Amino acid sequence: MKPLYHGASFTKSAHKLIQCPTDSRIEIAFAGRSNAGKSSALNCLTGNKKLARTSKTPGRTQLMNYFALDEEGRYLVDLPGYGFAKVSRSQLMHWRDTLGQYLAERETLACLVIVMDARRPLTDHDWNMIDWIQQGRAELHFLLTKSDKLSKNQAKATLLSTQKALEDAGVEATLQLFSSLKKEGIDDLQGLLDSYYYRQEGSKPDTDSQD
């Protein structure tokens, strides 16, 4: 595992955009429908089972949680789950406004990773998030989680059909299959994130380092 992700540590939670870290140079945010496996994916990516809270109760993440990867201003951001989170209407309205502002205005946001259950990709809530991100400058990557719940043929077919649906809608994005349980797709995800975190330097970190 690459030291950059292995060293992820919680920094702060933000309820409003103004509370986000001021030293952020580049950040990649993870969003997903409630119970799509977002927290598990973050924990799998970093090799830390306790980094992001996981729960069988949808909507547990209610804040923008920042995880520092190093002292150079690189961050992972865990955004509140969307969909059927059990929160009040006023709180849902607040997060709709806050997330819309974050996605449209956060200059250090380089990429939004939308986490979707491979068995139920591109729900109406996912399309709403896609519409929001199109207002900003960040790029999109789709993580089709729980791919181990499908056969290899089913998973491949889902990947291709999702890609076609995005292309037909004019959405530019990259996408991949992922399984936190089987730890499949980690290298591909880390490579994708590296391409953003190290884009400014024009070089990538040493990928030969092991845990």
What pLDDT score was predicted for residue 132? Answer: 82
What pLDDT score was predicted for residue 28? Answer: 97
Query: CB-based burial of residue 143 (10 Å sphere; 0-12 exposed, 13-18 middle, 19+ buried)?
Result: buried
* Residue 84: φ, ψ to 5°: -110, 40
Domains of the chain: 3-197 (3.40.50.300)
* pTM for the structure as a whole: 0.88
Report which of 70, 81, 48, 63 is spatially closest to residue 12, judged by C-alpha positions: 63
The residues facing 114 across adjacent strands are 31, 142
114 CB neighbour count, 10 Å cutoff: 26
Mean pLDDT by 10 residues, the chain (211 residues): 82 93 96 91 93 59 88 94 70 80 92 97 91 85 97 97 97 97 95 90 42 34
What pLDDT score was predicted for residue 136? Answer: 78
156 φ/ψ sector (left φ>0, alpha ψ -120 to 50, else beta): alpha
What pLDDT score was predicted for residue 12? Answer: 94
What pLDDT score was predicted for residue 2? Answer: 57
What pLDDT score was predicted for residue 207? Answer: 36
The DSSP H or E segment spanning 166 is helix 152-168
